[in-house]
Structure 1
Amino acid sequence: MTVLGNARLVLPDGVRRGGLRVEDGLIAALTDETPDIDLGGRYVVPGFVDLHVHGGAGASYQSADPAEARRAAEFHLAHGTTTTMASLVTGDPAELRAAVAVLAGLGDVIAGIHLEGPFLAPSRCGAHDPALLRAPDPAEFGDLLARARGRLRMITVAPELPGALELIAEAAAAGVVAAVGHTDAPAAVTRSAFDAGARVATHLFNGMRPLHHREGGPVTAALTDPRVTVELINDGVHLAAETVHLAFQAAGADRVALVTDAMAAAGMGDGDYRLGVLEVQVRGGRATLAGGTSIAGSTITMADAFRRAVRDVGVPIEQAARAAALTPARVLGLAGRTGSLEEGKAADLVVLEEDLAVARVMKNGHWR
């Protein structure tokens, strides 16, 4: 048993002075008893939950190399992400099969696999190779689902493609979170996808038809549907601070999930990298396709996204914590286990300095 005390606990409904008793990897109680570890008034927030991340520390989940995948997960864990998905960009069928098979064997290193493609709209391909995009194929989806051995947790689909609504319904029935993204769909088609079972908008505003006052597209459909969680890449590159503020105002912290969309360059600095089969250059922390202007993921951590939400956007710290932990945990069906500092949940937490820099990270009751 360990008691952490003299902290500012960031709870779903506000900030409380006090401490936590940790036993057997769980939060046994919120407490005011004498601490074993005095945190000196630092903030304690729930461990971050990232729904959308491709890699970090020079490593990519696409590589089909288990050591590389572990390195990416460990990098983000050190920056506070105690629960992480492994996202794959569009690849040819053999590449995706190999990557899925490797990721399926990683155990609790990752929370699951997110297929961001290959069933995306060529007109909104972003940093996906348009030559590899294809129409929704139930056979390919079923094969990947089987190879994932219960670890496929999310798939992003452009709902206007032929067969997309049927595949969304099939994914939802199989327990896979269906998301809409990389889409040129009008609002009505997007709403049809939500009616079919889609529950997430992949990196809202990016890789989709922009909001127009005569056709709101996926943005208005997602922001106005209480069933839908919207991902936001809060890195100062993908979205302006006022746009992030707008999304929080429209959807509320219970429907916003901060994500990194981080690729291998996260934590590595400027240089040349790859995202799937495409070459990426990072200059000034901004990742773009080589020779072009399309943004190719981000170079941030969830700690960065969280800090920007509080410091640059003005989101109250408890709302930012919900968007960085509890809301994405709910998307994955994990909110009963993690995502908030509550009795009986896993002792997944991040200790933050006054400037919100990460001081220490705990996962399942163990300092990392």
Structure 2
Amino acid sequence: MTAKLKISGARIFDGNSFHDDAVLLIEAGQVKGIAPKSAEHDGAATIDASGLLLVPGFVDLQVNGGGGVLFNEQPTVEGIRQICAAHARFGTTALLPTLVTDARDVTSAAIAAGAAAKVAEVPGFLGLHLEGPHLSVARKGAHDPSLIRAMDDDDLKELLACMRAIGCLMVTLAPENVTKAQVKALADTGVIVSLGHSDASFETACAYAQAGVRTVTHLFNAMSGLGHREPGVVGAALASGPLHVSIIADGFHVDPAVMGIAIRGKQGPGRIFLVTDAMSTIGTDLTDICLNGREIRRKDGRLTLANGTLAGADIDMLSSFRFAHETLGLSMEEALRMASAYPADAMGLSSRKGRLLPGTDADFLLLTPELHLQSTWIAGREIFQAGEN
């Protein structure tokens, strides 16, 4: 593919607003700009996207698996490659392969795989999300309680080394098993520290936000709830302006009415953004999968352990975006921002991802007017087209 591209004919959403009668100019894998349709772009190949919507690629910060691969079960470069490829078929152009609480050797293997994936420039690989093992047993969700533990000095050193090697790392942890000093040490090096799987009080959650917590993992799920006398982690997530907050929009993890209340009630500038929490089922017809030796059953859009506990989600980002737009009634622009711009902001990557502004990566989607995916592009290169195997 040529280093210069001109995408014409589409209605373009740059992450802030729509542009009609315009073209997207791409050079060396980055957005050169959005210009009038008559604009020249010397030496550029022209792609006719007439009748389509051109929008920023989705950014998913919590992806446990896809395409038949669960990161915990295959913590390798090839595993990461397959997960990224599976989600590209649903519009995700940047993601964090996410490791659910596991043994030390599995965590170390996942970190090594992430470092190798960065060197290999795996399309769609953004960095890693380590969800645990430093969580609260009381709010374990589907995490194996026998593997949950306090963060020690070796853990901290490994996380700091991971950040140096990969440059993009999110860690979900709970105050019950991590100190504020450890949070500060992580945040000071650029690690995105997320509060989740915690029974902490409102006061404690706010104190940890002051120490360096930047985001909250899957709002409402596996955390102390919003009470009228004790606001809990949910209250801290909504009331603390700087916190960015993820939510799973599948209709099972959180009731749509509650999602709407939270979105309307979130104090800014931090915003609520979409994550899939997707498992290996995405893009497959699998009916049963395995995590930490435990069976997870897939039925009617839900993934559950034998006891009925939700265990990740069976949803992709395109479906999550549609849910936000069609079921929650959000404008198309806001639903798109929740799937692209806001997660990029949460990671401190607004200058690179989630928008189609000059200098950002040319990661974008072509959608039909009915919001079906026509093609997925990463760094100005088409990596998936509907109808192709």
After TM superposition, the score normalised by the length of structure 1 is: 0.94
Question: What residue in structure 2 maps to residue 45 of structure 1?
Answer: 55
Matched, 1:282 2:298: yes
Q: Is the 8 A contact 1:54 1:60 kept in 2?
A: yes
CA distance in 2, matches of 1:164, 1:103: 26
Gaps of 5+ in 2: 40-45, 384-389
Q: Is the 8 A contact 1:270 1:283 kept in 2?
A: no
Q: CA deviation at 1:148?
A: 5.9
> Does 258-267 or 21-30 show the bigger shift?
21-30
Equivalent position SS for 2:194: strand
Q: CA deviation at 1:33?
A: 2.2
CA distance in 1, matches of 2:156, 2:128: 13
Q: Is the 8 A contact 1:157 1:168 kept in 2?
A: no
Please list the CA deviations of residues 269-289 of structure 1 after superposition, one character each: whole Å capped at 9, or x if unmatched.
351102344321111121011
Letter in 2 for 1:285: G
> Aligned runs of 1:213-362 on 2, under 5 Å?
213-251=228-266, 255-289=271-305, 291-362=306-377
Number of residue-to-residue matches in the alignment:
366
> Aligned runs of 1:97-176 on 2, under 5 Å?
97-107=108-118, 108-109=121-122, 110-146=125-161, 149-151=164-166, 153-161=169-177, 163-176=178-191
Taking only aligned residues, the RMSD between alpha carbons, in angstroms, comes to: 1.8
Letter in 1 for 2:367: L
Matched, 1:32 2:47: no
Equivalent position SS for 1:28: strand
- C-alpha change, 1:224 and 1:165, in structure 2 (3 Å) is same
Q: Is the 8 A contact 2:87 2:282 kept in 1?
A: no
CA distance in 2, matches of 1:94, 1:137: 15
Q: CA deviation at 1:39?
A: 1.8
State which of 10, 13, 34 in structure 1 corresponds to 2:13.
10
Letter in 2 for 1:281: R
Q: CA deviation at 1:183?
A: 0.5
Q: CA deviation at 1:28?
A: 1.3
Equivalent position SS for 1:150: helix
Q: CA deviation at 1:81?
A: 1.0
Equivalent position SS for 2:213: coil
Q: CA deviation at 1:226?
A: 1.1
CA distance in 1, matches of 2:292, 2:14: 38
Gaps of 5+ in 1: none
Matched, 1:57 2:67: yes
After TM superposition, the score normalised by the length of structure 2 is: 0.90
